[in-house]
Structure 1
Amino acid sequence: MKKSFFRLLSVAALLFLLFRPAIAYEGAKNGLILWGSVVVPTLLPFMICSNVIVTLNAIHILIFPVKKLLHRFFCLSDAGSYALVSGLLCGYPMGARTCSDFMDSGRISNKEGKYLLAICNHPSPMFLLGYAASALPAQVPVSLLLLSIYLPIFPVSLAAKALYQVTEPERSQPVSKKAQRSFDDSLMDSCEVMVKIGGYIMLFSILALYITKFPMDAPKYKAVMLGLVEITTGIKAISEAFPGALCGLWIAAASAFGGFSGIFQTKSVIKNAGLSIRHYVAWKAFHSLLTIILFILLSRVPALVPFP
């Protein structure tokens, strides 16, 4: 059934491309421009530096300021702590990619990898403070957006620890010489991942443009659909379709979920480690629900959220 569905979907997609080639061309161009002008400059340098840090076994230096907090509350090993930090700082899908690499190299166990996947993949502060914040209405503070997206990491962590039975930090595992890579290997690996990400961004940008051009006079529904498909296009559409706090709410929810484009990007970097994309989608849905609830609660108590 699953294969039959994807066969029909691929045939339908090909027919859309053939009958509406102008939209396909424009969507592909928009996706590649987004990838080349935003994603590559912001993500690729971090990805290369991350590989170099791991290769040089310098993880403990980077996580030293937050090591005790991450060990005590999140019950993460040194390698797991680095995966969480890289995911928070670099954005989708860097956290999942680091988690997958560490499982492949034996730095973290299968149990810690499953637990990490629930909490390590998020939009970066640069994306939220730059692109998402610029789309917020004036009455919605950026601090409300940040708190509603990042605070749910704590309750999600508690639920994931209980599900995967994580009770204490694991000891760092010795890394074999086979797992260590040269700088050239790290560079080529990073470029390969970036090409995969670019392909998915291009495909989902085409889908987003088809949704935009669909002859339906319902801008709010379209905006929500675009937020589910691809967050950059979705955030722009949401800012144009919704007023006030409702705009901020949907932007926060879309950013926390990451869109189906982010899900497919994540799937492309975790498949070799044996991690479940279904579990990942369930955790992102749970995180998004908590984001919505927290945004509503915090917006009703302005004293808790300082305006910039």
Structure 2
Amino acid sequence: MNIIICWVLIALLLLQPGIAHEGADVGIKLFMNALFPYLLPYLILTQWLLRLTNQGSSNPSKTALYLKAYGISALGGFPTGSATIAFMTKEQQLTLRESKFLLAICHAPSPLFMIGFVGYELLENASIGWRMLLLIHSVNLVTLGIFILFSKRPSETTSVKKEIKRASFPLIESMKGSIPTVLLVGTTVIFFTTISHVIAKTLLHFFHDLPTVLAVSLYAVLEMTSSLHIATQSFASSAYLPLWLMTILAIQGLSIHLQVAVLAKDADIPLVPYFLLRLIMIPVLPLLYWVIFL
């Protein structure tokens, strides 16, 4: 099945090179203007903070370790959360059981992305970006609290099985460690934006007028950032535009899920809890936003 899908996508790209080039150009502009400025500084700083707090020799309590993982992930946004959990797993600060649940919980957009891009640039109202951000983190923190409450209590500390090596230059190592993640994000955003653009234009050959909801849904399933941009243009006059954007933020798209999968597999972290929690969040977040703010 995957081979068939791959050949179909290759055929679409070959038959419509102009449209593919246009889609790639859109993806590059989205990444450079909407993601790169909001991703790179936070990614480097959070990786730096992670290495600085990894210098000590004492074993923190599990609760403190979980809160540290969530706090760093919350600052950086996705996929910084996945990179953080993968790093802590490789350093044996977290077990695989802990990692697979924290991977699902420590997953949220960064404050700068939500307030700057979604709130200020798209909605021209930073307070709406704050509302969305606080709602997402409120749900995540409740989930984290449930996880801590039901975690096994035999030992309150998480043992580190290997000796922690002190980083000679934590900032330099953070910059080097951030490069693969930035490249991964850029590649997936450009690829899925191109595919979305080509599929949408191909459908227009068969349907004279592609329904707006279908077009937005297509982009939402494949790439989040481009779908946020298109939804803002398509539903600019609708009072339910924030609800549309919250729904897209809950779906997130294959682009982000692939980023998480690559980072998680690098540390052999199981992905089942992550995908189960994402399926739960898709109806929960828009419903809560509608009940509380609309």
Measured in 2, the distance between the counterparts of 1:55 and 1:135 equals 34
Q: Among residues 6, 18, 40, which one is paired with 1:22 in the alignment?
A: 18
Q: Contact 1:77–1:172 at 8 Å: present in 2 too? A: no
Summarize the Cα distance change of 1:59–1:177 in structure 2 as closer, same or farther, 3 Å threshold. closer
Deviates more, 1:120-129 or 1:268-277: 268-277
**Partner letter of residue 192 of structure 1?**
P
Measured in 1, the distance between the counterparts of 2:271 and 2:251 equals 13
Measured in 2, the distance between the counterparts of 1:178 and 1:19 equals 54
Measured in 2, the distance between the counterparts of 1:45 and 1:286 equals 31
Q: Among residues 101, 111, 115, which one is paired with 2:101 in the alignment?
A: 115
Q: Say whether residues 1:48 and 2:44 are aligned partners.
A: yes
Q: How does 1:281-300 map to 2 (within 5 A)?
A: 281-300=275-294
Summarize the Cα distance change of 1:34–1:181 in structure 2 as closer, same or farther, 3 Å threshold. farther
Shift of 1:267: 1.0
**Partner letter of residue 106 of structure 1?**
Q
**Partner letter of residue 30 of structure 2?**
L
Q: Which runs of 5+ in 2 are unaligned?
A: none
Shift of 1:18: 0.5
Alignment-derived partner of residue 194 in structure 1: 182
Alignment-derived partner of residue 97 in structure 1: 83
Measured in 2, the distance between the counterparts of 1:137 and 1:40 equals 20
Alignment-derived partner of residue 234 in structure 2: 241
Measured in 2, the distance between the counterparts of 1:285 and 1:119 equals 13
Q: How does 1:1-308 map to 2 (within 5 A)?
A: 5-57=1-53, 76-78=63-65, 80-133=66-119, 134-136=121-123, 141-157=128-144, 160=147, 165-167=150-152, 170-174=156-160, 176-177=162-163, 181-183=167-169, 184-213=172-201, 214-215=203-204, 216=207, 217-242=210-235, 243-300=237-294
Shift of 1:179: 5.6
Q: Contact 2:188–2:259 at 8 Å: present in 1 too? A: yes
Measured in 2, the distance between the counterparts of 1:130 and 1:210 equals 29
Shift of 1:182: 4.9
Summarize the Cα distance change of 1:90–1:15 in structure 2 as closer, same or farther, 3 Å threshold. same
Q: Contact 1:28–1:206 at 8 Å: present in 2 too? A: yes
Q: Contact 1:87–1:120 at 8 Å: present in 2 too? A: yes
Summarize the Cα distance change of 1:207–1:160 in structure 2 as closer, same or farther, 3 Å threshold. farther
Q: Secondary structure at the match of 1:123?
A: coil
Shift of 1:145: 2.5
Q: Contact 1:145–1:252 at 8 Å: present in 2 too? A: yes
What per-residue deviation string (whole Å, max 9, x for no partner) do you get for residues 235-278 of structure 1?
12222333534221120121133221110111111112222334
Count of residue pairs the alignment pairs up: 280
Q: Contact 2:23–2:197 at 8 Å: present in 1 too? A: yes
What per-residue deviation string (whole Å, max 9, x for no partner) do you get for residues 106-127 of structure 1?
0112222122112111111111
Measured in 2, the distance between the counterparts of 1:230 and 1:192 equals 19
- Which consecutive segments of 4 or more residues in structure 1 shift more than 6 A? none
Measured in 2, the distance between the counterparts of 1:193 and 1:179 equals 22
Q: Secondary structure at the match of 2:63?
A: coil
Q: Secondary structure at the match of 2:28?
A: helix
Measured in 1, the distance between the counterparts of 2:63 and 2:129 equals 29
Deviates more, 1:258-267 or 1:174-183: 174-183
What per-residue deviation string (whole Å, max 9, x for no partner) do you get for residues 160-188 of structure 1?
557xx515584254474576555454433
Report the TM-score, using the length of structure 1 for normalisation: 0.79
Q: Which runs of 5+ in 1 are unaligned?
A: 61-66, 301-308
Q: Contact 2:114–2:130 at 8 Å: present in 1 too? A: no
Q: Contact 1:148–1:252 at 8 Å: present in 2 too? A: no
Q: Secondary structure at the match of 1:108?
A: coil
Shift of 1:88: 1.2
Summarize the Cα distance change of 1:136–1:45 in structure 2 as closer, same or farther, 3 Å threshold. closer
**Partner letter of residue 294 of structure 1?**
L
**Partner letter of residue 151 of structure 1?**
S
